[in-house]
Structure 1
Amino acid sequence: MKVVLGSTSDSKIQILKDTLQPMSRQNLEISGVEVASGVADQPLDETTTIQGAINRAKNALSKTQGYDFAVGLEGGLHDVVNMGYFLICAAAIYDKTNHLSLGIGGKLQLPVEVSSRVKAGEQFGVVIREYEQKHQTDPQALLLIQALISREKAFKQAIQNAYLAYKNKHHFSQFSSAS
C-alpha cells in the first residue's frame, strides 16, 4: 500500500508508519511531501486544526500520483472554557475517490503558565521548551512536557481513529465530500 503524508517531518513519517503498519497488515510505502496547511502556523481552535489536517491530505494527494491515499496531520491548541488550552491533534485520510476520513487524538491540557503565555500571544513551541528548562528536575512534569512536545501519542490516536473510519467508510458516506 502506498501512502503519502502531507509533511516531510521524519518524526511524523515514523509515527504514521508505526501506527498504520500493524493496523493495515500490509507492506507500507510511506513518502512525505511538503504541502501548505492553509491555516495559521499555530492553530488555536479545533476547527482550524481539523481544517489544516484536511488541507494537508488533499494537497498531498493532488501533488503526487500513484498513492492509495494521503494523510494530513495537524497539531493545534483548543481553548476549553475555564480550563485553558489543550493540545489537539487531527489526522485526515483522503483518497482518489474524494473520500475523506477524520480522526482526532485525545486532548492533553497545557500547564497553566504555558496556556496563559499562549493566550497572551506567545508561540507554544517556544513557551513549552522554556517551561521544560525550568522543570528539568521534576520527572512527572517532564513526562507531561515530553508528551506535549512530541505529540506522538495524540497523533497516533488521531491516525488510528481516521484509519478505522476509512476502513469502515461505508458507514460514513455522508461525510465523504466534506471540505
Structure 2
Amino acid sequence: MKTVIVGSKNPVKVNATRIAFESVFANESFTVEGLSAASGVNDQPFGEDETYQGALNRATNSQAKQPEADFWVGIESGIDDQLDTLEVFNWIVILSHEGLQGRAKSGSYLVPQTVSQLVKQGQELADACFKIFGDKTNKTEGGLVAYLTGGALDRTHFYVPAIQLALAAIIHPELYQSSTTEPQRRSA
C-alpha cells in the first residue's frame, strides 16, 4: 500500500486526492492523509504565479514532514482578474519518491460581482462568500462552486480532474522530458 500525503487537513482536498489516485492507479491501494503544510503565500493567493508557488510549497513542506511517503500533493486555490470580475482556479503539484513532479491547473469559474467586490476590498474569498451566502459555501464542503452550479459540481469534483492531470507526468515521465532527455525532476 502506498502513502499519499496532502499538504492540507481540508477533508475536501484529501478526499479529492484519494478519488484521483484510486481512479488513475486502479490496481493499487493508497492511504491518503492530510497534514498542515505551510503554503508560504498569502492566505488568498492572487494570480497564477503565487497560486502555483503555494501548491509547490505545500507539496515540498509535506515531503519534509513525512519523507517516508510515496507521494506528496500540494493543492492551492487562487483568484485572478478576469474581465470585470474575478476567477477561481487551483494549482496542483505532486511530488513522487522517485523525484518526479507533476503539475496541473484546474478549470476556472467566474465569481459573482458582489463577492468579487468584497475580495477586491481585501477579504478572503471564503469570508466574502460567507458574508453573502451564509454557510452554503463552506470551503470544507461543497464550496462556492457547488452553490453556483446548484450542486452539480462540488469542490471535491472540481479538484479531481486537475489532480488526475498532474499525475500524467508521474505515469509517463518519458513524455515529460527536459531538453537533456532526462525525465522531468523537481528542482532542489
- TM-score interval w.r.t. the shorter chain? 0.7 to 0.9
Listed as ranges, the matches of 1:161-172 within 5 Å are: 161-172=165-176
Could you tell me which residue of structure 2 aligns to residue 18 of structure 1?
A: 19
Listed as ranges, the matches of 1:53-92 within 5 Å are: 53-80=55-82, 82-92=83-93
1:12 aligned counterpart, secondary structure: helix
* Contact 1:2–1:68 under 8 Å retained in 2: yes
* Contact 2:86–2:111 under 8 Å retained in 1: yes
CA shift for structure 1 position 90: 1.2
CA shift for structure 1 position 131: 2.1
Normalised to the residue count of structure 1, the TM-score between the two structures is: 0.85
* Contact 2:6–2:14 under 8 Å retained in 1: yes
1:156 maps onto 2:160 in alignment: yes
Q: Which runs of 4+ in 1 moved over 4 A?
A: none
C-alpha separation between the residues in 1 aligned to 2:67 and 2:5?
Answer: 9
C-alpha separation between the residues in 2 aligned to 1:42 and 1:142?
Answer: 20
Per-residue CA distance 1:107-140 (angstroms, 9 max, x = gap) = 011011111221121221111122224x9xxxxx
Listed as ranges, the matches of 1:104-115 within 5 Å are: 104-115=105-116
Q: Which has the higher helix share?
A: 1
C-alpha separation between the residues in 2 aligned to 1:159 and 1:96?
Answer: 17
Aligned-partner residue type, residue 28 of structure 1: F
Where do 5+ consecutive residues of structure 1 fail to align? 136-140
CA shift for structure 1 position 146: 7.1
Q: Relative to 1, partners in 2 of residues 1:69 and 1:146: Cα closer, same or farther, differing over 3 Å?
A: farther
Q: How many residues align?
A: 171
Aligned-partner residue type, residue 90 of structure 1: W
C-alpha separation between the residues in 1 aligned to 2:161 and 2:78?
Answer: 15
Root mean square deviation of aligned Cα: 2.4
CA shift for structure 1 position 8: 1.7
- Percent identity for Structure 1 against Structure 2: 26
Where do 5+ consecutive residues of structure 2 fail to align? 137-144, 179-183
2:167 aligned counterpart, secondary structure: helix
Q: Relative to 1, partners in 2 of residues 1:142 and 1:90: Cα closer, same or farther, differing over 3 Å?
A: closer
Could you tell me which residue of structure 2 aligns to residue 42 of structure 1?
A: 44
